[in-house]
Structure 1
Amino acid sequence: MTRKLALLGSAVCLALSAGAARADDLPTRKAGLWEMKMVRTGSPMPEMTMQHCTDETVDKEMSNNVSPMAKQICSKQDIKKTATGYVSDSECSVAGVTTTSHAEITGDFNSAYTVKSTSHAQGGVAGAAGRDATTMIEAKWLGACKPDQKPGDIVMPGGFKINTRDADKLKNLLPK
């Protein structure tokens, strides 16, 4: 159960990093099944690959549902369009840990995109010295969702599945 919660926490962090921007700031991903590989350095979290079945409505809902959560925990959320994609800077606090992050998002949102982010966490479990981490998310479109999937389904390692439309369940798992 602890592993599932850790993986779910990573998914929430992924959603926050990708969804902290407003729905109209980033393009909507092509509908279908996306594979997202997340590699973190400077963190005890292992490499993780997950699949997300999405459509235009779910992508917009995800941004809109994450934004209120992000507004509650983030004192800074800036996103800017660049010549090669987007740049995002944020500062968020959860359970006594403040995390400052910078992300560069590139790709076409139809076949593949990449999110490279660096972050510094201070306080709480990060300790007095803080902790630096680098995250690389490589996402690629695989095609249509599988017959047993519906838009919003995220399949985590080990087959654990949750739907992003269950935002209330996600919020209840976050530390107060």
Structure 2
Amino acid sequence: MSVRFRPLLVLSIFCLAGTALAVELPSNLPKRKPGLWEMQMSGMGGQPQIMKLCVDEATDQTMYQMGAQMSGSMCSKYELSVKGNTVLADGVCSMPGPQGNITMTSHSETRFDGNTSYKTDGHIKYDPAVMGRSEATVTSTGRWVGACAAGQKPGDMVMPNGTVMNIKDMGGK
């Protein structure tokens, strides 16, 4: 995957997640088990990106709030539904691009296996095309791997390059 394309992949995945988080969350939304989660994201060619995140209930709530803020300013359409262990999300979002705004139309399905793993399959269409691509398919999986590591606090995320940041700090909290 080209270095220039990686930020677009990350933004696309956040937009898929953000679309799901921008609406009022259903009370039957599946919950993740507190502890250390390993998340793998792939799409648009290239190697999968693996991150680890220390999660507790408050961290998930912070992520939901961040997604709502981001999507609220970028997306004109949100639809979210829960059917059994599957969360369906659809959105239409606009983001600035080098040649003007880019409209991203997304659909994702997240299937939970209890509270210890999930898989998201998403499809995004770009109008106009971005770097020659008008569509992308992204996949994200997550699995609970145990307790957070010694010294980790909820919200700590280890990026693919080893950089550690805290999700809560990104929201200015």
TM-score band (shorter)? 0.7 to 0.9
Match of 1:135 in 2: 138
Q: Does the aligned pair in 1 maintain the 2:13–2:138 contact within 8 Å? A: no
Provide closer, same or farther for how the CA distance between residues 110 and 168 of structure 1 changes in structure 2, counting only shifts above 3 A: closer
Superposition CA RMSD, Å = 2.6
- The CA deviation at 1:12 is 5.1
Identity fraction in percent: 32
Q: Does the aligned pair in 1 maintain the 2:35–2:56 contact within 8 Å? A: yes
* 2:162 pairs with 1:151: no
Q: Does the aligned pair in 2 maintain the 1:23–1:60 contact within 8 Å? A: no
- TM-score, normalization by structure 2: 0.81
Q: Does the aligned pair in 2 maintain the 1:102–1:118 contact within 8 Å? A: yes
* Unaligned residue ranges in structure 2 (runs of 5+): none
Provide closer, same or farther for how the CA distance between residues 23 and 65 of structure 1 changes in structure 2, counting only shifts above 3 A: farther
1:103 to 95, 108, 117: 108
Match of 1:64 in 2: 65
Q: Does the aligned pair in 2 maintain the 1:50–1:157 contact within 8 Å? A: yes
Return the alpha-carbon distance in structure 1 between the equivalents of residues 114 and 14 of structure 2: 15
SS for the counterpart of 2:152 is coil
SS for the counterpart of 1:27 is coil
- TM-score, normalization by structure 1: 0.80
Q: Does the aligned pair in 2 maintain the 1:23–1:64 contact within 8 Å? A: no
Q: Does the aligned pair in 1 maintain the 2:81–2:88 contact within 8 Å? A: yes
Q: Report which of the two has the higher share of strand.
A: 2
Q: Deviation per CA, 1:155-175, whole angstroms, max 9, x where unpaired?
A: 111201221112247xxxxxx
Provide closer, same or farther for how the CA distance between residues 85 and 168 of structure 1 changes in structure 2, counting only shifts above 3 A: closer
Provide closer, same or farther for how the CA distance between residues 118 and 12 of structure 1 changes in structure 2, counting only shifts above 3 A: closer
